[in-house]
Amino acid sequence: MANNVTEEQLDKVVFTVVTEFNVTLNEAQDIIANDKATQEQVDASFARLAAAMHML
């Protein structure tokens, strides 16, 4: 779902929120790609990304 957010949609949001969303999305993608990521890392990243998405 987060990958479906478009640049056009982000252009309508406060810059700080866009920055947080982009940082958390990249972090989440890195964690998913990491075969050694712990469940704690996954859960924390998900919580942060979900919070950023709610701000959108």
This prediction's pTM: 0.77
Position 30 pLDDT exceeds 90? yes
CA-CA-CA-CA torsion sign (8, 29, 55, 19): negative
Domain ranges of the chain: 2-55
Residue type at position 24: T
Residues 46-56: what's their mean pLDDT? 93
Radius of gyration for the alpha carbons in the chain, expressed in angstroms and rounded: 12
pLDDT, position 13: 81
Instruction: Pick the closest to residue 28 from 9, 6, 55, 47 (CA basis).
Output: 47
Mean pLDDT taken over the chain:
92
Q: Which residues contact 28 (CB under 8 A, 6 or more apart)?
A: 2, 45, 46, 48, 49
Instruction: Pick the closest to residue 14 from 3, 4, 22 (CA basis).
Output: 22
